[in-house]
Every structure is written in C-alpha cells, then in structure tokens.
Amino acid sequence: MQKLNKIILYCRSGFEKECAAEITDRAAQKNIFGFAKVKDNEGYAIFECYQSEDAQILIKELAFRTLIFARQMFIVGDMLANLPTEDRISPIIDVLTGCIDKAGDLRVEIPDTNEGKELTGFCRKFTVPLRQALRNKQILSKIHDASKPVIHLFFINNNSCYVGYSYNQNNSPFYMGIPRLRFPNDAPSRSTLKLEEAFHIFIPYEEWDERLKSGLNAVDLGASPGGWTYQLVKRSMIVYAIDNGTMNSKLMETGQVKHYREDGFKFEPKKHNIYWLVCDMVEKPSKVTELITKWLISGWCREAIFNLKLPMKKRYEEVKQNLQLLNEKLNNKHINVQIQAKQLYHDREEVTVHVQRIWG
Ligand code: SAM
C-alpha cells in the first residue's frame, strides 16, 4: 500500500515559492517538518512530511481558510507515472483502496497552466469510467455526499497523476479551487470579479443578507473606473467613490454613487455610518495596511476588503509582516477583529485581505 505522506497545494502560476514558504512555515508552527518541492510556473507545490502520519494531521488540522497562497489542499502519495494507456484505472484504485473509507465526491483536476489546460478534455472523458469503477468498488458513494471526503486526481500529463483526498470541512469547495464567476457585461472593469470573488470566499452565504444588504454605506478608495463600486451598487448600497480618475457614467446615473476627486489616503468620512471600506489603490502594502488600520481604529467602518499589491521578491514575508502589524496595532487598541487573506483566482500580483470588526 502506498504511504500518503505529502500534501499538494494548488496556487497561482508564479507563486509556487510563496505557497511553499507558507506551508513550510505553517506546518512548523504545528511542529510538523518536511520539505517543499516546487518548480516555477507549475501552479502547485508539494510538501513532503518527514513523518508520514503528519500529512494526515495537516489536512485535518491546518485550517485551509487560513492559507493565503493555496487554492486547494489535499493528501497524496508518490506520483503514479507511466500509467498504462489501456488501464489507467487499476493503479488508481490500488492507491485508494484501504486508505479511504468512502468518498462522496470525485474531482479529476489539472494545474491551472497552459500545459494543464490541454488536458481538460482528457480529464472530462476519463472522469466517467473512473467514477463508475470507484462506485463499483464502493470507494465512492452512489450519489454526491458532502459529508464525506473528496477524491482528487491531479493529472500532470495524460499518463501521470497524483491520487489523494481532502476533507470537505477543510478544503475549497470549488473544482481546482477556482470559483467560476461570470463577468457581468455592464461592469466597468474586469477587476469587478475580484471583489465578487472576495465576497464568495470571505463571507459565509448565510450571512450575505445581513452583511451585504441593501442600504449599507460603503467607501471605495481608488474606485475608478468603478468595477468594485459596481458590486456594491448591484447590492443596492450607497457608495462614496474616491479617485481622481473618472467613474463609469452608468454607475453615476444610478444615483447611488457619490464621486469625490480626493486623495484616498486623506479622505475622511463625514458621518460614522460606513459599513464597508474597500480599497484597490496601487500603493506599497505597508502604506495601505497603515491606512486600513487607521480606519478600523477610528471606527470609520465595520468591515474592510483591500488588496496588497506584491511587485517585490519576498512576497510571503511581505504579506505576513503586514498582517502581523495590522493585528498587533488593533490588539493594542483592544479592537477585536477577524482577519482573512487569500490570493484569489482573479488576483494577479496581489492578495486580498478581509477584516471584520467583532464586538462583545
Ligand atoms: N477597483 C477599481 C475597479 O474595479 O475599477 C480599479 C482600481 S485601479 C487598480 C487603482 C485606482 O487607484 C486608480 O484608478 C488610481 O487612480 C487610484 N489611486 C491610486 N492612488 C490613489 C490615491 N492616493 N487616492 C485615490 N485614488 C488613488
């Protein structure tokens, strides 16, 4: 039987080193040691644990939602290479037999790279007989069952793949860890999808009615041409859009947007009735973090979503330092918050951070 002693983490192509640095750091905090293997632009990192049982601990106990650069996380063994073209299924079943009781879902996945995309058709076709075979062997439930683990196959080429699984309570619910969002034709910029994705990732659906409800006031710093403002307007909020640049005229016609041609670092709300602060200004991460900290300490907003742009080399360290600083400064003022950060699918050289103030 294969030992499942590694975990795979999907990430944005080009961010493999950050993903590897993060998992190594976070595993070490749990006294779990191993080494990360990455190649540039492959869209994933592998962390091999020195103690094989530690991989199981990681996929259960290291909260997936707290990882910044990982889109998905699951346990695997060695790569199955040179799968026979006439029967790729038997070796896969051999790996899964005995290591998983019964799974409730199957995802046949690929790296999010140009090479990976060429395998899309193959994976789609292969899923059908594989699913049937896994059901016949009672490794996969007859119908989708969200309470059971998810089997992942990760194809590197059409005869090599990793086989493993994740737990539903501790993974991304999306195929390849990517939420599929449709670009709204009337949105002023593609960045609109960044804020929409942030809502999906950071805010539980059962709380949308409360936290994204109509009538809330929002401030959008660096708003032009209006992609983020569009998301807030769509949810019937009133938006103070701060930017020297122009705002999309259709958004302005809604009457829900007040445009101030001011410096986002100097703007102060006149009334204390702002629920959302969102900020997409291209500036040094430390300067943006300081600004958001000021807003939260001053009690000018209840929740904030902002981007930290990462043109520098040590990107994991940069994000970590800024989040620590934010946390420390708010702690010193006894302001209770929940902080989440993720490199979203629609993010490029950046990560998105969410902060929610919590009272009592
Ligand atoms: N979120 C916008 C959207 O979805 O359409 C795109 C924002 S764009 C990435 C960054 C914006 O920040 C630019 O329009 C720029 O004018 C604005 N910006 C940069 N520095 C600023 C500052 N100090 N004050 C106000 N706006 C600023």
* C-alpha 226 – ligand 1 centre gap (Å): 9
| Type of residue found at 296 | L
Taking only the tens place, the pLDDT of each residue in 268-297 is: 999 889 999 999 999 999 999 999 999 999
Task: Compute CA distances 41 → 15, 45, 113, 242, whole Å.
Answer: 7, 10, 8, 36
Q: How many domains does the chain have?
A: 2
Residue 131 burial (C-beta neighbours within 10 Å; 0-12, 13-18, 19+): middle
Last residue of a domain, one of 177, 206, 225: 177
Name residue 72's beta-bridge partners: 10
Q: Are residues 169 and 232 in the same domain?
A: no
User: Nearest residue CA, atom 27 of ligand 1?
Assistant: 222
pLDDT at 277: 98
* C-alpha 224 – ligand 1 centre gap (Å): 6
Q: Are residues 76 and 200 in the same domain?
A: no
Residue 180 near residue 146, CB atoms below 8 Å: no
Q: Are residues 115 and 217 in the same domain?
A: no
- Residue 131, domain extent: 6-177
Q: Are residues 88 and 225 in the same domain?
A: no
Given ligand 1 and candidates 196, 219, 243, 265, which is best to mutate, with the most ligand atoms within 8 Å of its CB?
243
Residue located via tokens 């059409």: 158
Find the mean pLDDT for residues 306-335. 96
Taking only the tens place, the pLDDT of each residue in 159-205 is: 999 999 999 999 999 999 999 999 999 999 999 999 999 999 999 99
pLDDT at 99: 87
Q: Are residues 265 and 300 in the same domain?
A: yes
Question: Is the torsion defined by CA of 143, 58, 23, 338 positive or negative?
Answer: positive
Find the mean pLDDT for residues 302-312. 95
CATH number reported for the structural domain that contains residue 47 in this entry? 3.30.2300.20
Last residue of a domain, one of 129, 151, 177: 177
Question: C-alpha angle 101/105/110, rounded to 5°?
Answer: 115
258 counts as catalytic: no
CATH number reported for the structural domain that contains residue 215 in this entry? 3.40.50.150
Q: pTM for this structure?
A: 0.96
